[in-house]
Chains A and B, each alone.
Chain A
Amino acid sequence: MNQEAETEYVRELLGRVVDEVQMPGSRGSETVFAKASRVRWRRRTAATGVAAAAVAAGLVLGPGVLDSTGHGASVASTPTAGEYTTKAGKFAKLLPPGTGKISEISLLRLFKQAPKAKQPKFFGPYDGDYAVGRPDGVGYISVHLTPRPAADAKTGGGGLRNPCQDSPKDGSIGCTTQKLSDGSLLGVWETPPTDPALHPIPAGGREFEAGLRLKDGRYLTVRASTGFQGKGQLGPLLKTPPLTRAQLTKLIQNPALLK
């Protein structure tokens, strides 16, 4: 058998293997892009910190991120007047007691190791990233309010939709939705730890995420993550996300996040 004939013969044999398999139902290209967005987001934001982080935040972000004492606001201890005046201190008041030590950080800047990296525009009073320090590690909570035009741009202007379908939920677990009394749609889900084969460094830990699609078209998301592992890691992963699913569900419905 000459080489050309052999090539053709082997190709035919391989073709018979392929012929026997049914093509899978298309997962759709959107799942690929959603997963890619999530991976990218994780890579960009995989940095967080508190106590030890507080020092790092002070170094990386410069003054003004933490209060004048260099400490974050702790919901576990009696807050001082200063803690109530900072954004982190006010945010800590919205959290259940014992959540941990709260400091405002910029995951973007920490991840990029660039203290002057341009921050995304904040639309909500508590929009931003907060490190949650506990004895067992460092996690974080992120709050982000998307105004209607931006939300419409992402969803094609389809109006109120199911957050479980719109969110980058590839790999997420147990997404549940409920319609609230004001007509908003709330979705809450869990994301397992990052697949190390896909993005070995930094690898995000387990997290709970909630998305609230408001009746006026805005979209509020809150993430409670156990942290990340990899370069820039400021502490070990928390054993559990800083907020339980129920606590996250309650927090995202707090109107203070929208005012």
Chain B
Amino acid sequence: MTRGEEAALHAFVEGRRPALFRSAYLLCGNRDEAEDLVQTTLVKVVLGARRHGRLESLEAYARKTLVNTFISARRRFWRREHAYGEVPDVAGRQVDSDTGLMVRAALAGLAPKQRAVLVLRYWEDLSVAATAQVLGMRESTVKSHTARGLAALRAAVREEYA
């Protein structure tokens, strides 16, 4: 890896961490777990980039690594209990905070792959085809996961305002 590529890799790790953390938080619903997921992802990205020189597709590689690391960890530790509904560290707008908690609870009720699909499709703004590629599933599966995920979100928000 050239010095320029190494510098670009450093810049990527430094600059991309906040965005990865947001996606990770949506996936995990837990701040500490999200932080660990981002750290693990970035280490894998650095190793992958140095091994394969994937600088051109670092962004996609990081995104794919993040969701797949999350899914495989959930598969392995599916029996673990998770804490939800932690008190936000900073005071926010009441309605928004409530909505956030409701949406987070709705996301937590989804299967990891469904959650990953929603995050990739609506937060990372990927197409159905791109999401299918990242997750290694058929487009029809992405669509069905999306439909179920959206239904859960709608139900959560409807309950809040009911």
List A residues at the B interface (Cβ < 8 Å): 6-7, 10-11, 13-14, 16-24, 26-27, 29, 31-33, 35-36, 39-40, 197-198
Q: Find out whether the CB atom of B92 lies under 8 angstroms from the CB atom of A33.
A: no
Q: Are A32 and B100 in contact (CB under 8 A)?
A: no
A31 B39 Cβ-Cβ under 8 A:
yes
Contacts A/B (CB < 8 Å), 13 sampled: A10-B118, A11-B123, A11-B125, A14-B26, A14-B119, A17-B25, A23-B18, A27-B35, A32-B46, A36-B50, A39-B43, A40-B47, A197-B40
CB-CB under 8 A from A22, the residues of chain B are 31, 88-90
Complex contacts, B92 vs chain A, CB 8 Å: 19-20
A198 vs B157: C-alpha distance in the bound complex, in angstroms?
37
Contact A32 B123 (CB under 8 A): no
Q: Which of A6, A21, A29, A40 contacts B25, CB < 8 Å?
A: A21
B→A interface (CB under 8 Å): 10, 13-14, 17-18, 21-22, 25-26, 29, 31, 34-35, 39-40, 42-44, 46-47, 50, 69, 72-73, 76, 88-90, 92, 96-97, 99-101, 103-104, 107, 118-119, 122-123, 125, 150, 153, 157
Please state if A197 and B88 are interface contacts (CB–CB under 8 Å): no
A10 to B119, CA, bound (A): 10
What separation, in Å, do the CA atoms of A123 and B97 have in the docked complex?
60
Chain B residues contacting A39 (CB-CB under 8 Å) are: 43, 47
Majority SS at the chain B contact face = helix
> What A residues does B88 contact at CB under 8 A?
20-22
Given A16-B96, A17-B107, are A10 and B46 also a contact pair (CB < 8 Å)? Answer: no
Verify A29–B13 contact, CB threshold 8 A.
Answer: yes
Report if A21-B31 is in contact (Cβ < 8 Å); known contacts: A197-B76, A198-B43: yes
A29: chain B residues at CB < 8 Å are 10, 13-14, 17, 42
Instruction: Using known A-B contacts A10-B150, A22-B89, A197-B40, determine if residue A36 contacts B122 with beta carbons closer than 8 Å.
Output: no
Q: List the 6 shortest-distance A-B pairs measured between CB atoms, nearest first.
A: A36-B46, A16-B100, A20-B100, A29-B13, A10-B122, A22-B89
Chain B residues in 8 Å Cβ range of A7: 122
Q: Which residues of B contact A14 (CB under 8 A)?
A: 26, 103, 118-119, 122-123
Give chain A residues whose Cβ lies under 8 Å from the Cβ of B118: 10, 14
Known: A19-B96, A29-B14, A40-B47. A198 touches B107 (CB 8 A): no
What are the residues of chain A within 8 A of B72 when measuring CB–CB?
197
B21 proximity list for chain A (CB < 8 A): 23-24
Give the complex CA separation of A197 and B70 in angstroms: 11
Kindly list chain B residues whose C-beta atoms are within 8 Å of the C-beta of A19: 92, 96, 100
